[in-house]
Amino acid sequence: MTTEILRSMLYRGADIIRDIEWVIFDEVHYVNDVERGVVWEEVIIMLPRHINIVLLSATVPNKVEFADWIGRTKQKKIRVTGTTKRPVPLEHCLFYSGELYKICESESFIPQGFKAAKDAFKKKNMSAATGGSGSHAPAPASHDGARTQKQSSNWGKQKRQSGPQNSGNFSKAGGANQNNGNGMNNWGLRRSDASLWLSLINKLSKKSLLPVVIFCFSKNRCDKSADSMYGIDLTSSSEKSEIRVFCDKAFSRLKGSDRTLPQVVRVQNLLHRGIGVHHAGLLPIVKEVVEMLFCRGVIKVLFSTETFAMGVNAPARTVVFDTLRKFDGKEFRQLLPGEYTQMAGRAGRRGLDKIGTVIVMCRDEILEERDLKHVIVGSATRLESQFRLTYIMILHLLRVEELKVEDMLKRSFAEFHAQKKLPEQQQLLMRKLAQPTKAIECIKGEPAIEEYYDMESEAETYNTEISEAVMQSSVAQKFLTAGRVVVMKSQSARDHLLGVVVKAPSSSNKQYIVLVLKPELQTPLASGNLQDSKNTDFPQGYFMAPKSKRAIEEDYFSGVTSRKGSGVINIKLPHQGSAAGVRFEVREVDNKDFLCICNCKIKIDQVRLLEDGSSPAYFRTVQQLLDTKSNGNKYPPALDPIKDLKLRDVNLVETYYKWNNLLQKMAKNNCHGCTKLEEHIILAREIKRHKEEVNALKYEMSDEALQQMPDFQGRIDVLKEIGCIDADLVVQIKGRVACEMNSGEELICTECLFENQLDDLEPEEAVALMSAFVFQQKNTSEPSLTPKLSQAKQRLYNTAIRLGELQGHFKVQINPEEYARENLKFGLVEVVYEWAKGTPFADICELTDVPEGMIVRTIVRLDETCREFKNAASIMGNSALYKKMETASNAIKRDIVFAASLYVTGV
């Protein structure tokens, strides 16, 4: 059974669960699957303790970590066992220009083989270049470009569209007859492709390397490649007769027109010649016939997509990779080592072959050695949790008493490492709490230092934010000219320095040259006008030498030199000295070192300061700087960020006012200007850090720290809003209906039912509309719908958009349009409507470019959806809907779509 079915049995509490002793998870690396990986995790978490687990995989590098998670989750010992030895060893070859080059054997890369292939490639290219416009190699994009066209991967089917879509071209250009740049049109491309396959199969046949599975990475590519081999016959007359008898028996269960479906006829013609095709676009019965004949050994060449390596146990003598690039639904990318290993593992039949051969096709280029090594001998993708919350999971867990949603999150593989650290964190917390706390002894009565420390930290943050924004602005740069008084950041002290711009950046100097005053004697002063001063948290006084101690030339030196300077800086920076009893320093700074620009300028003599290093000039400058301080303030008033520096950002303006208010509050605090302030601030910082560490540990150990907690909260709010649960998280009738919806998106399906959107539709129309829940192909031809169905389609789409917007409102990471597009695909509405009305299968295939296999798959899943809607109708007590779903289910359950599996009934 699939993991989805086991999950719903676990949620329902099915009786059979009590009798199960073992669950075997095959290909457990599926946990990495973005869509379905979460289901595997859910099942592993929810399996009861009495059930034993076996997990199988060929490609899990972090198996011990994964086993550790399961062991902790299930509280059981998990034994990890494995082997690196294959029963049938593999050899890996490149096929280029009709020759095979062995590049890897017994897990080790062979550089000589790769070099030989590269040499052959260079030789061929050189001869092609010298031989003029001889034969051209096919375009490298030929095997990838198929995806770019909306092509049909079903055979012999007439589509409503015409034009390039039907041409089946492989070039990345669009039109049917377009050249691909190599002077070769698509017909030529297919010819060259056919000759390539022909030369490969002849080579394999001569070396007795058949049967072969050829992996192509698109359904279309499989079909086209098989079609191109129209001249090849690989079966003996006895094998032909075996194939014919088998096919006649298998297809005899189909009704009249279904036996002559183009796909059935076409596959039979291929099978008679020993060629098979296998992909999701094939009808289930056709796929089963191909698998069974391949296992009997009568199919010699099988063109298949990746699914053949995952779901079917049918090894071959040889495996061929058409290309090592694939489209994964989002982008073209290189194959991952794990994917390559899975597919290459089909080569070599136990008991029949001594060695399995894996071949990589090289058309007109040879991959880089590094890329080949990575794919062939690289390590597989690590198992990583794809766990995510879904509404149906939350609703089921709210109904089940044993397991809370928070417990499910904690037990997920994603949270495994965090949960593993819990015991350590608990011990650390105990140690932190046992530490003795330091007390602050205040000399002014009630200690207010913690409050002061918080205000100071906050003020510092605001200050930095404003300063950075202001200093980066072009308006501020205009003010930073020679003579502008500024406040600079201090590297060591907690205080800042008063300075003046001596020279702005120019061609000779990239940075600002600034003279700053360095305090020596410090004593607290009364705080002045806070509104105007910048950073008056710790005012410090600057002392000036008395007049009697100053030199005469210092006092009477005046005027700025009239001579023009050369612009050369003769003093060595940083230049230190003292004048007027104050130490100063001339240094180079960046604009981020400015803390604030003051609203005054002084006269600067650049020539004497920088070129002559004149002491009187420095004395004069320092004296002027000291004179700028007024009213006992530490610094002159700053330029107003709003009025002067034209600060326009609303948030910054708000920050500016908050900062000013904080400074005023700090001035009123008892600690402001206290002699023990510095000592107490250090203590306050330690106490604060200790508290934060304790709180952080408590948070990390709480449910709130779970990665998906915000998402869980948002989803709970959505469920409350639409009425699936009440305020006490008790599941309501609407929530019980949502729990039944496994095949479609639970919220959209539930809203559709509660808004009675199916009431005015006939059973055939209702089931056609419901196909949007289960159909999965993104790009299809536009269906032509009746007015009634068009209206119903629009109504359902609007519901999905509304639900998407609601989830966005509650902070669930969802884009409404994308949500609607992903969960409602209306491509088969017309097809299902006609099928429910009784139209033969051959006719409904004409209505769309969706392959037959996908149509069947959708209708089969649709029967499951009808059953779910029927259960929902009985919960709601809606007997009319119950009958409608029963009628709809009977209408689609017929002919080839529900033909019994050959594996179940036998041929």
How confident is the model over 826-839, as pLDDT tens digits?
A: 999 999 999 999 99
Of residues 897 and 670, the one with the higher pLDDT is 897
If pLDDT is split at 50, 70 and 90, which confidence band does 99 have?
A: very high
| 658 vs 820: which has the higher pLDDT | 820
Long-range Cβ contact pairs of 443-451 (< 8 A, separation 24 or more): 443/674, 443/675, 443/676, 444/670, 444/671, 444/674, 445/670, 446/670, 447/680, 448/669, 448/670, 448/671, 449/671, 449/680, 449/681, 449/683, 449/684, 450/684, 450/687, 450/688, 451/669
More confident residue, 642 or 103: 103
pLDDT of 216 > 80? The answer is: yes
More confident residue, 750 or 656: 750
Q: Would you say residue 272 has pLDDT above 80?
A: yes
What confidence tens digit (pLDDT) does each residue in 358-391 have? 999 998 888 899 999 999 999 888 989 999 999 9
Residue type present at position 277: V
410-443 pLDDT, tens per residue? 889 988 887 777 777 777 777 777 777 666 666 6
DSSP 524: B
Residue 581 confidence (pLDDT) above 80:
no
Determine what percent of the chain is predicted with pLDDT higher than 70: 83
Give residue-wise pLDDT tens across range 537-577.
333 333 444 444 444 444 444 444 445 555 677 777 778 88
Residue 159: pLDDT band (50, 70, 90) is very low
Q: pLDDT grade, residue 605 (50/70/90)?
A: confident
Mean pLDDT value across residues 449-456: 76
Confidence of residue 781 (pLDDT cuts 50, 70, 90): confident
Predicted TM-score of the model (pTM)? 0.69
Mean pLDDT (whole number) for 39-51: 94
For residues 274 and 235, the answer to whether their CB atoms sit within 8 Å is yes
The DSSP string of 338-406 is HHHHHHHTTBS-TTT-SSEEEEEEESS----HHHHHHHHHSPPPPP-------HHHHHHHHH-SS--HH
pLDDT tens sequence across 311-333? 778 899 999 999 999 988 788 99
Which residue did the predictor score with more confidence, 730 or 604? 730
In which band, very low, low, confident or very high, does the pLDDT at 511 lie, cut at 50, 70 and 90?
A: confident
From the CB of residue 2, how many other CB atoms can be counted at a distance below 10 Å? Answer: 9
Q: What are the backbone dihedrals phi and psi of residue 333, each rounded to the nearest 5 degrees, phi first?
A: -150, 165
- HSE at residue 159, side-chain half, CA atoms within 13 A, is 23
From CA 372, how far away is CA 109, in angstroms rounded?
9
Token look-up 């301080």 returns: 629
Cβ–Cβ under 8 Å, residues 677 and 538: yes
Mean pLDDT across 185-210: 81
* CB-CB contact of 604 with 500 (8 Å): yes
Average pLDDT, the chain: 82
Angstrom distance (rounded) from CA 94 to CA 288: 31
Is it true that the peptide bond before 851 is cis, omega within 30 degrees of 0?
Answer: no
Q: Supply the pLDDT for residue 150.
A: 37
| Strand, helix or coil for residue 307 | helix
Q: Which helix (H) or strand (E) holds 215?
A: strand 212-215
Strand order in the sheet with 90-96: 108-109, 99-105, 90-96, 356-362, 318-321, 212-215, 301-304, 275-278
Which residue carries 């209906």 as its tokens? 737
Distances in whole angstroms, Cα of residue 827 to Cα of each of 262, 773, 854, 891:
22, 11, 11, 20
CATH of domain 90-134+196-377: 3.40.50.300
Distance separating the N- and C-terminal Cα atoms of the chain: 22
Range from 58-62, 509-513, 764-768, 847-851 carrying the lowest mean pLDDT = 509-513
Helix (H) or strand (E) holding 893: none
Going by C-alpha positions, the residue among 499, 503, 513, 498 that lies closest to residue 482 is 503
Report the percent of the chain where pLDDT is more than 90: 47
Would the CATH topology of 3-82+385-420 be identical to that of 90-134+196-377? Answer: yes
Written as six digits, the tokens of 623 are 């004296």
Identity at 314, one-letter amino acid code: A
Q: Tell me, what DSSP letter sits at residue 569?
A: -
Cα 616 to chain centroid distance, Å, stands at: 66
Which class would CATH give 740-905?
A: mainly alpha
The values of phi and psi at residue 585, to 5°, are -145, 135
Of the candidate ranges 138-147, 344-353, 650-659, 826-835, the one whose mean pLDDT is the lowest: 138-147
478 residue type, one letter: K
Domain range annotation of the chain: 3-82+385-420, 90-134+196-377, 437-473+649-695, 475-646, 740-905
Q: What is the DSSP string of 753-811?
A: HHTTTTTTS-HHHHHHHHHHHH---S--PPPP--HHHHHHHHHHHHHHHHHHHHHHHTT
Q: Which two tokens stand for residue 276?
A: 């098979």
SS3 55: strand
Count of beta carbons in the 10 Å neighbourhood of residue 699: 10
What's the CA gap between 707 and 350, in Å, rounded? 46
Q: Are 351 and 244 in contact (CB under 8 A)?
A: no
Place of tokens 């990239």: 510
Tokens 């708000």 sit on residue: 654
- CB-neighbour burial class of residue 566 (10 A; exposed 0-12, middle 13-18, buried 19+): exposed
pLDDT at residue 545 in the model = 43
Superfamily name with CATH number, domain 3-82+385-420? P-loop containing nucleotide triphosphate hydrolases (3.40.50.300)
Alpha-carbon distances, residue 234 vs 229, 239, 273 (angstroms): 11, 10, 6
At 199, the pLDDT band (50, 70, 90 cuts) reads very high
